[in-house]
Amino acid sequence: MQYLRAVLCGVGLSLWPATGFGHPADRSITFAETLSRCQEAPSVRAVAEALRVKRSLDANLGAMVANPQVTVQAGYRNDTGGQGADVQVSIQQPLNLAGYAKARRRSAELESATLHAEWQAALLHERLGAARLWSELWGAEQAESNASEEVELAKQLLSRTERLFAGGAVTQVDVATAKTYLAEVQTRHLSIEGEVVELGLSLSRWLGQSGALHAVGQPHEPKLPTLDDALVNDALRRLSELPEPVRRRLGEQSERARAEETAAERGMQASVGAMVLREPTAPWAAFGTLSLSVPVFERGQRERANLMASAARRKIESEAALSEAQGDFRQLLHDVSHYGELSKLITETLLPSAEREVSLRERLLLAGDGTVLEVLQARRALLAARTQAARVLASLLGSRQRMALYLTALGLFDGENVR
């Protein structure tokens, strides 16, 4: 009976949730901080800097597409007409008659728009990935906390069992059972600990940070609108407005605009100018000049072929990006519903049932109708249920956060609760 009280005391204490967490991370980060740091991630900053530089330099584009040309010819003449210095000075200004200035401004605008869409796509991609990684890290840390507490309780149980065995109150089977259970929970704890470190490093690399990160705080659950058929159909219609499909579409337009720019650059051109002449027999003479270049043979066919081929490729990539967005959105719809139902089943049915089974096994053991092995088996089931509950809750919150980000990007959610 003394042994049974000791066992039940240890079992009872283990029902309390873990209150502390030891994490080998360099720095802690909340979910809100994770999302805010996405703007400083290398993949996002790189595009933002490229866009800044391009806009600042494109602002210097002028209306003239060619520079004036000055030619000076000097020499000495000695002929029947006389002798002396001979100088010719001419200046010419090429003029494009095929709309090159307008075409290059159009290309520059589309290139900037493509970079801006790329920045938006990179930021959304970064936030979606960060939300998933942070949620997975948080869920793994909750599981590690449960496993860590269970290790300490298993050690206490083994110590009590060994003392009682020394006093002849229990058998070797009970000691072996307690040792097996301790080894089992230690193995589980080490396995989850490795996963936590790996996820912490993955989140750190994703954000462009150094060292492993530790997820702190309770993840916020956004108050999503009701995901009814009307909202879902509206979202599916708007998926082409997401940054990535827009970027691919603008990329195709940019390639076509550059092809038109190339054709305009090689189009008809005129050069107007003047020439001043000084000869030994005349103080000076002036002439007006006009030349015309007609694109009979060279029209930039080589460059245009590559640009149009790239445009054709980007058109297919744009369609693929839309299909991928549709698949991602439908997967998110499934995840929100799936993890919601699973979390409800675990918290309302599985956890209470596992806790009640542990309680009933303890009573049977106290009454002499049960064994330590049966109690420990019930405890294994309870620990597994708690671990699953933590991971499922993390997956649910992460999927809801990603859904909020998607709906915000589509203009169907105000995004105030995405934090």
Closest CA to 196 of 124, 123, 146: 146
Instruction: Please report, for the domain that includes residue 202, its CATH number.
Output: 1.20.1600.10
Is residue 413 very low, low, confident or very high in pLDDT (cuts 50, 70, 90)? confident
Is residue 2 very low, low, confident or very high in pLDDT (cuts 50, 70, 90)? very low
Q: Which residues contact 43 (CB under 8 A, 6 or more apart)?
A: 122, 125, 126, 208
Is residue 86 very low, low, confident or very high in pLDDT (cuts 50, 70, 90)? confident
> Please, are residues 417 and 165 in contact by the beta-carbon 8 Å criterion?
no
> Please, are residues 206 and 128 in contact by the beta-carbon 8 Å criterion?
no
Average pLDDT, the chain: 87
Identify whether 268 is part of a domain. no
The count of domains in the chain is 1
Q: Examine the pLDDT at 214 and tell me if it is beyond 80.
A: yes
| pLDDT on residue 299 | 85
| pLDDT on residue 79 | 74
| pLDDT on residue 16 | 35
Identify whether 157 is part of a domain. yes
| pLDDT on residue 416 | 54
| pLDDT on residue 360 | 92
Q: What is the dihedral of CA 166, 168, 172, 176, to 10 degrees?
A: -60
Give 160-185 pLDDT, tens digit per residue. Answer: 778 878 887 778 888 898 899 899 99
Q: Examine the pLDDT at 336 and tell me if it is beyond 90.
A: yes
Identify whether 106 is part of a domain. yes
Backbone phi and psi for residue 90, each to the nearest 5 degrees, phi listed first: -130, 150
Bigger pLDDT: 296 vs 419: 296
| pLDDT on residue 14 | 38
Residue type, 24: P
Please give the residue range of the domain that contains residue 25. Answer: 2-66+99-249+323-409
Is residue 17 very low, low, confident or very high in pLDDT (cuts 50, 70, 90)? very low
Give 105-121 pLDDT, tens digit per residue. Answer: 999 999 999 999 999 99
Lowest mean pLDDT among 95-99, 165-169, 290-294, 407-411: 165-169
Report the largest interatomic distance among the alpha carbons of the chain, rounded to a whole angstrom: 140
The DSSP call for residue 294 is -
Structure tokens at 91: 């200046």
Identify whether 291 is part of a domain. no
Is residue 24 very low, low, confident or very high in pLDDT (cuts 50, 70, 90)? low
Q: Examine the pLDDT at 254 and tell me if it is beyond 50.
A: yes
Identify whether 94 is part of a domain. no
| pLDDT on residue 415 | 60
The whole model's pTM is what? 0.82
| pLDDT on residue 171 | 81
pLDDT, mean of residues 53-57: 94
**How buried is residue 179: exposed, middle or buried, by Cβ count under 10 Å (0-12/13-18/19+)?**
middle
Q: How far is CA 216 from the centre of its chain?
A: 21
| pLDDT on residue 166 | 85
Is residue 81 very low, low, confident or very high in pLDDT (cuts 50, 70, 90)? low
Identify whether 293 is part of a domain. no
CA distance between the termini of the chain: 54
> Please, are residues 185 and 156 in contact by the beta-carbon 8 Å criterion?
no
| pLDDT on residue 1 | 40
Identify whether 34 is part of a domain. yes
Identify whether 284 is part of a domain. no
Q: Which residue shows structure tokens 């002929």? A: 79
